[in-house]
């Protein structure tokens, strides 16, 4: 069977999706949708697709489409996913899952009811370093991991001003939802800890509201009416049921020496580790010695180069999604908790 795939949203990240699908032997790109005629036609022609729609509803109703990839403004993630699942399509959805947990849960429930493959496209999980670090943590090289630090600081990395990305109604949040989601997800995935207990957080808007810090991301058209009213710096502390703590810091804009700085740092009872570049820190064999090693010959437990291949394999019954719906829901609960804690000034319990 060939999976006939549709692309909903022909913006900046659409190429990543279409390129991967075009390399997968059991799939065919058949249709694209975007409100921008220029962007949908560019993608249609580049990937030799048969049909291009202005309205996503028309693509979702297309009987010649088995599965859709959704790369739209965040506010459309849940409604379009639910509509596509109800129309019997499998879905690969861009991060973040939704504007909030309630919306995400509705998508999850619809996917279960319709018995379709729904996967959140957490692409960084497929990095070989992430897979390697996860493997050595899971086999116990670090001992008991009691603390993790995850950060992604961009200096001048706000998406295009005046686009949906920087507007709360359309995006749901700023840097925490946009890139914090990636490193939060990785920290949980690497430590395989999906049981948060509570979260405390604070979000800030310090630059974008003054028109400072635009990077280059996003192809959507600017709309002067769209105000910057989301976070460009955010911090969170998550406590887990097993006692582990996670410190998460994220910025789109920040005064710092480098343009971009990100990492996940793990602290365990037997060793510590960094993700970027991947290194392990531990006591040496002899008393007083300390060593920094790059683990070698770590077997990566899957063969995927990208998320789309994993999703397509799952549709064809050859494998399961590496990012499960249950895991994606936990990440969304923590993100909600960070924003709730920031608004209320209180720690938020997660159930």
Under the rule (CB under 6 A), what is the footprint of ligand NAD? 9-13, 33-36, 39, 56, 71-74, 76, 94-95, 121, 123, 163, 178, 217-220
- Nearest approach, Cβ of 37 to ligand NAD (angstroms)? 10
56 vs 252, beta carbon nearer ligand NAD: 56
Q: How far apart are CA 22 and CA 118, in angstroms?
A: 20
- Nearest approach, Cβ of 16 to ligand NAD (angstroms)? 7
The number of helices, as runs of H, and strands, as runs of E, in the chain is: 11, 15
Residue 316 C-alpha from the chain's centroid: 23
Do residues 121 and 188 make contact, with C-beta atoms less than 8 angstroms apart? no
| Number of Cβ atoms within 10 Å of the Cβ of 199 | 25
- Nearest approach, Cβ of 320 to ligand NAD (angstroms)? 20
- Nearest approach, Cβ of 268 to ligand NAD (angstroms)? 28
| Number of Cβ atoms within 10 Å of the Cβ of 204 | 15
220 vs 265, beta carbon nearer ligand NAD: 220
170 vs 266, beta carbon nearer ligand NAD: 170
| Number of Cβ atoms within 10 Å of the Cβ of 99 | 23
The DSSP element (H or E) to which 349 belongs, if any, is strand 348-349
Residue 178 C-alpha from the chain's centroid: 8
- Nearest approach, Cβ of 157 to ligand NAD (angstroms)? 12
Distances (CA, A) of 115 to 56, 111, 322: 22, 6, 17
Do residues 152 and 174 make contact, with C-beta atoms less than 8 angstroms apart? no
178 vs 313, beta carbon nearer ligand NAD: 178
Distances (CA, A) of 258 to 155, 261, 298: 7, 7, 31
Q: Which residues pair with 92 in a beta bridge?
A: 69, 119
- Nearest approach, Cβ of 144 to ligand NAD (angstroms)? 31
- Nearest approach, Cβ of 122 to ligand NAD (angstroms)? 7
39 vs 333, beta carbon nearer ligand NAD: 39
6 vs 121, beta carbon nearer ligand NAD: 121
222 vs 349, beta carbon nearer ligand NAD: 222
């Amino acid at each position: 069977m060939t999976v006939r795939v549709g692309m909903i949203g022909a913006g900046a990240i659409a190429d990543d999706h279409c390129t991967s699908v075009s390399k997968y032997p059991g799939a065919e790109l058949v249709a694209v949708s975007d409100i921008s005629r220029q962007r949908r036609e560019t993608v249609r022609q580049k990937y030799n697709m048969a049909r291009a729609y202005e309205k996503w509803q028309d693509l979702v109703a297309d009987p010649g489409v088995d599965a859709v990839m959704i790369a739209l403004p965040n506010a459309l993630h849940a409604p379009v996913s639910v509509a596509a699942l109800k129309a019997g399509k499998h879905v690969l959805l861009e991060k973040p899952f939704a504007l909030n947990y309630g919306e995400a849960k509705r998508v999850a429930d619809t996917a279960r009811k319709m018995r379709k493959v729904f996967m959140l496209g957490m692409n960084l999980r497929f990095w070989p370093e992430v897979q390697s670090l996860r493997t050595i943590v899971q086999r116990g090289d670090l001992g008991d991991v009691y603390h993790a630090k995850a950060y992604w600081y961009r200096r001048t990395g706000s998406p295009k001003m005046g686009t949906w990305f920087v507007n709360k109604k359309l995006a749901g949040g700023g840097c925490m939802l946009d890139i914090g989601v990636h490193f939060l997800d990785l920290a949980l995935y690497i430590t395989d800890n999906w049981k948060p207990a509570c979260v405390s957080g604070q979000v800030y808007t310090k630059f974008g509201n003054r028109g400072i810090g635009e990077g280059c991301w996003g192809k959507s058209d600017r709309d002067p009416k769209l105000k910057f009213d989301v976070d460009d710096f955010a911090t969170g502390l998550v406590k887990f049921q097993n006692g582990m703590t996670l410190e998460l810091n994220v910025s789109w804009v920040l005064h710092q020496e480098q343009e971009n700085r990100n990492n996940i740092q793990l602290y365990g009872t037997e060793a510590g580790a960094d993700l970027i570049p991947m290194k392990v820190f531990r006591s040496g064999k002899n008393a007083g010695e300390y060593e920094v090693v790059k683990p070698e010959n770590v077997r990566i437990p899957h063969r995927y180069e990208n998320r789309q291949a994993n999703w397509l394999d799952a549709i064809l019954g050859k494998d399961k999604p590496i990012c499960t719906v249950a895991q994606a829901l936990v990440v969304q609960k923590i993100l909600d908790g960070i924003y709730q804690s920031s608004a209320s000034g209180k720690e938020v319990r997660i159930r």
